[in-house]
Amino acid sequence: MKDLASKTRDGLLDFSKLSALSDDEVIKHLTQVKGIGVWTAHMFLIFTLKREDVLPTGDYGIQAAMKKHYRKRKMPKAKDMEKIARVWSPYRSLASWYLWRSLDIKTVK
């Protein structure tokens, strides 16, 4: 929190300009703050900037849902997740939301 506050105060992090940046630039900008990683940046892109084509490969829920629905024996690696999700573009954020929600649904076997 202190690093975030000081970087914002010093002008190194300007939230008002983030919406004009590309996804990669937003991630680079946010992850300069101690304690903010790529997962947090992905969540910021999806839920704050409302970006429609973000695949949070570091999210456990997305990994677990892909493992379940694509019948993988192990949790998929980021590279495999990107390959699976390529066809979902430009709506990977929406697909991610459905994946998260799919884990909440009780299914009959």
Domains of the chain with CATH codes: 2-48 (1.10.340.30), 60-102 (no CATH)
To the query of whether residue 53 is one of the catalytic residues in this protein, the response is: no
Place of tokens 């900008």: 29
For the whole model, what pTM was predicted? Answer: 0.89
Residue 15: per-residue pLDDT:
93
Per-residue pLDDT tens digits of the chain, which is 109 residues long: 999 999 999 999 999 999 999 999 999 999 999 999 999 999 999 999 999 999 999 999 999 999 999 999 999 999 999 999 999 999 999 999 999 999 987 766 6
Written in H, E and C, the secondary structure of 82-95 is HHHHHHHCCCHHHH
> What is the C-alpha to C-alpha distance for residues 16 and 29, in angstroms, rounded to an integer?
12
From the candidates 3, 24, 53, 59, give the one annotated as an active-site residue.
Answer: 59
Q: What is the pLDDT of residue 105?
A: 73
Please tell me the predicted confidence (pLDDT) of residue 107.
Answer: 64
